[in-house]
Every structure is written in structure tokens, then in C-alpha cells.
Structure 1
């Protein structure tokens, strides 16, 4: 079957620049096996829909090894290159009519956002009550201990990590991404 019939979809989206910052720190820790593949190709990164920056093959290094060897500026640029396919998909999705919730609007507001999602899906009162209980439990600052995976949940981290060189490189690679996805509301980018 090539299409899903009568299917509802909700998209949760994060600022592409924050994906770069978050991914940089996460991938630097080699938390996933594919980050340790030496001289990877795109085929090696297919499992995560990632693009293998050519510098990894040129230097015969793994992604995690490279991120730990270079300075943060070069590491962020490599992470932005890795995100190529993610950003291509974001650009395509940004033109769709799929209900979208942005990460920055969810964090600290999890229960309200999931209530909107549950209302959209017409779930039963019992399902909604259970879902909202889970949203409260796993919300940032909720009763469940936060995962070690979460380094810093705050949105707009790119502001403190993107140097002029990182910003210029990002804009060179993805000149239309920020405007296309609507993350330049204040015209500051």
C-alpha cells in the first residue's frame, strides 16, 4: 500500500538550529552505535536518516570522534551537515496542512498541548484522562525523573551557541530553511 487511508497525523517540530545544538552534544557522547562507525557513508547513517559529512571519510574518523576532536564551532557545522535529510523533510512538511506543535510551545505547557491533541483526535473521556495523567507525569518538572538523555530542554539554545561563523555556514547550507519553516518571526535571523 502506497498511502495511508483515513489517517490522522500530528507533527511535533523543533527549531532546526536547536536540533543542531542538541544533536551536537548528544552525538558527541557516542550514545548510539552509528556515531562510532569510522569513515561512515550515508548508508551507515540511513538508520537515523542522517547525512555523513565528508570530513569524516577524509579524516578516517567516526562522528563522535570528530565532534570530540574539533572545536565546538566546527562540531556544530558538522552536525548541521549531518541534519541535511532532516532539514529537507522539515522544509517539505512546513508546507503541509498537518497540525503542528512546536517544541518551544510544548515545553512547560505539555498538558495543555496534549489536551489539544486529544481533542483533535476525539478520544474518549477515559483515554483523555489517562493521556493527560501521562502528560503531567512526563512533563518537564513532572513527577517522573527526567531522562539522562535530556541535557538542556530550553528552546532557543542556538542563540548562545551559534557564532557568526556557524550562522554563516548554516545559512550557506540551508539559506531558505529558517524562513520556510517560520522560525524567523522577529526578523532576527
Structure 2
């Protein structure tokens, strides 16, 4: 199975001012270990992340590479890894289908790993994550970390349902391993 993870608010703390350096990448407790559990169960794991900070000129692609190097290093420390990271650098006013809520990153990941949408799960914290996964035909899990509680309080559009709701990435991984989504 292919497990797609949003980054900010799911793996690391979301910041209103964007993650601009490796030092600002602060991991949500248990998130890295949760990825290790997916790896150990034989699942493919990829990140699908909007990074409009590039399109806005706030950081460069080299800075994003440094941020993701920290992510990879910390995953290795817990014997975990990502199979890929897909990035949409688009600013909101110049959005392509790659930028969530567009399904582009999910479709690209499913194509790359030759996985059907019914064998793909997106774990995210925002309505845009859920919309992108719906359009791509993926299973959807909303975590309550990051923007998740606000998203849940506001309610999701009826066409996006059903969506499983998990406390955090650790519980979302429980759902995946138990195939409860």
C-alpha cells in the first residue's frame, strides 16, 4: 500500500510563517516512529507537500533541500525512511494541479509507484489535503494535529466523506495497519 503524508502539521509542527530552515523543522512527538512502523510493515511512504514559501520567494529550493535533509537524517536515526518527497512550490495565486487541493502530487506518486487509488491512503490535516485525496480517489485520514482540529470543527464538505479522524500520525498509522479507513 502507498501511504502519502502531508508534511506540515502531520510530521512536523505547522508554522504560520513557514518552515524556513532546518532549525524551524520541529517534529511532532511520535511522528518519525510512526513512519518507521509503516516502513517495517512493508508500506511505501511518500510526502506530498505544498511549499508555497518557494513560489513566494521566502526560501529557495536549496533551503528546502536542507530542511528535507534534516527530515531524512532524523528518520534514519529511528531506522525509517521516505520512498519519495513530492513538492508543489506554487504560490497560491499561481497554482497548478500539483498544488493541493489539486490531485497532481497524489497522481504522480501513484503513477511512480504503480499503486491504484484504492491502495493509496493520504494522511493530512487540511481541507485541501482531503479534497486532493478525494479527487485522486484515495482513502483519507484527517489528523487532529496541525490544522486538523480547526478543519474538523469547521466540518468537511459532504462529498469528501467518509474521512477517518485520528488524534495524530501515530493513531493514523494504527488505522492503516488495521486497515480501518
The two structures share one fold, judged by TM-score above 0.5: no
TM-score (norm 2): 0.27
When Rg is computed on C-alpha atoms for both structures, the one with the higher figure is: 1
More strand by share: 2
Q: TM-score scaled to structure 1, two decimals?
A: 0.26
Say which structure is richer in helix.
Answer: 1
